Structure 1
């Protein structure tokens, strides 16, 4: 332990019989004022401010310029004081809030790093988060919220310790609850797909977000599809004289349009244009 300064914050001690004790005391108070609840104006400003407010703190980026800033190492913390700049030695583990970027930094191994990155090491585990917002704010209703244009999910490969599959699992509490994907346009619902009020897969659509119509339902027991609004499939085949045609397996009815030249006994015997 040093007899001249405190071990952690480096606050200078008063010596017995020391003259001008106020100088040492003021130096200690200035340092304490800097390292307690440290708020840094910026860590990206390269040009030395011309008229800083007394007490303003900056962390110097690479390439800092100015009469007092130039030549100081990147990462140095400086304080504006009485028209000049003081260099502040910061201990390991010191925390600083950066006001312009709204981030919290930690000093480790002589480097300032975002606190969320563990002081330079990537965070690999996040547990028991109550809210998560990506480029937006999550709230009590939407506890996970993201505002973005693209998102990518990819399977963990075999060579990376995975099995190459990618499966999303969604679960609801009971059959009468809802588990669905809601598709919106202009914040108005247009389609909803999922287990909506029971355990059969359903698709509902809406033109205005208020009135909904069921398009289809898939029975969970039989796998059969039921189309509430009906389902239609058409196929057109053109036949010539002597040709043959076999109805497809899915066809339930056939409409034939016969076109002939008219007259009796030959083509077009049912009329010039008829439906059979």
Structure 2
């Protein structure tokens, strides 16, 4: 018959053993240490000076004093002396001074709290999916500063991709703004989530287009001023639509106002084609 149990190494009473209570009490004492294991600390490098009988600690690496060489062991004070038990893989301990729960993985004590880094999906009060990897169902979502400024960043991989905010009604798109298909900033609206109308487009140079109009500039005083463009640079009149306006420069350096009739560009001055 072995002297100890195979898992916790509890001392076993032997046949015809005298002083059986000593062996029994030792087994109970070890159980008292290990069952519902809670330790005061797992990072104190030296034994505390004012320790109380029964205090338990996990000995960290590089400990000093009488804890030297007892890395990862469970230390407890008994009769004024530190005693040690080597943990086995899977043992768990609650660390009262840090509010942690640790698990011994066979080599070290590790925090059992789930890491919030590199999670595949996060759903708050709703289910996330392969497309909407972060999903929140709430009355409001707050993103606040951490002392000074705060930015919400939406980054796309390539010019032809989309980086935008989409507003939906009953899961059907109604408005969208951002970089949609190129690097111009666009505001679009839709009556049904299928057909989309461009309301405003702004280029990186500051030119602004209203509806289907060609690019124009808006001054700070709110007056729209068209930038002269060469005839060769005029957009397709059919694409612009009826009512589009352009300021066209000519070969002599002059400029004149033109409008689109939906098929071609015409001079405002006499209605002739450009």
Q: Per the alignment, in what secondary structure is the counterpart of residue 78 of structure 1?
A: strand
Q: How does 1:96-245 map to 2 (within 5 A)?
A: 96-115=93-112, 193-197=166-170, 199-202=172-175, 217-219=189-191, 220-225=193-198, 233=218, 234-235=224-225, 244-245=254-255
Q: Per the alignment, in what secondary structure is the counterpart of residue 87 of structure 1?
A: strand
Q: Per the alignment, in what secondary structure is the counterpart of residue 247 of structure 1?
A: strand
| TM-score where L is the length of structure 1 | 0.51
Report the equivalent of 1:247. 257
Structure 2 residues without counterparts, runs of 5 or longer: 127-135, 178-186, 201-209, 211-216, 219-223, 229-251, 261-274
Kept after mapping to 2: 8 A contact 1:195/1:202:
yes
Shift of 1:237: 6.4
Going from structure 1 to structure 2, the CA distance change for 1:237 and 1:155 (only over 3 Å counts) comes to closer
CA distance in 2, matches of 1:222, 1:50: 76
From 73, 77, 81, the equivalent of 1:80 is: 77
CA distance in 1, matches of 2:257, 2:21: 105
CA distance in 1, matches of 2:81, 2:154: 52
CA distance in 2, matches of 1:98, 1:125: 26
Going from structure 1 to structure 2, the CA distance change for 1:83 and 1:152 (only over 3 Å counts) comes to farther
Going from structure 1 to structure 2, the CA distance change for 1:87 and 1:37 (only over 3 Å counts) comes to same
CA distance in 2, matches of 1:28, 1:155: 64
| 1:11 partnered with 2:10 | yes
Shift of 1:25: 1.9
Going by fraction, where is strand more abundant, 1 or 2?
A: 2
Shift of 1:44: 0.9
Equivalent pairs counted in the alignment come to 195
Kept after mapping to 2: 8 A contact 1:46/1:64:
yes
Deviation digits for residues 192-226 of structure 1 (CA, Å, limit 9, x no counterpart): x511357233269xxxxxxxxxx973344432145
Deviation digits for residues 72-118 of structure 1 (CA, Å, limit 9, x no counterpart): 2321211122222110132332222222333332223343233468x
The ranges of structure 1 where at least 4 consecutive aligned residues each deviate by more than 6 angstroms after the TM superposition are 123-132, 144-156, 165-168
From 84, 87, 90, the equivalent of 2:87 is: 90
Going from structure 1 to structure 2, the CA distance change for 1:128 and 1:237 (only over 3 Å counts) comes to closer
CA distance in 2, matches of 1:131, 1:74: 42
Going from structure 1 to structure 2, the CA distance change for 1:152 and 1:94 (only over 3 Å counts) comes to farther
Report the equivalent of 1:43. 42
Going from structure 1 to structure 2, the CA distance change for 1:24 and 1:246 (only over 3 Å counts) comes to farther
CA distance in 2, matches of 1:236, 1:127: 48
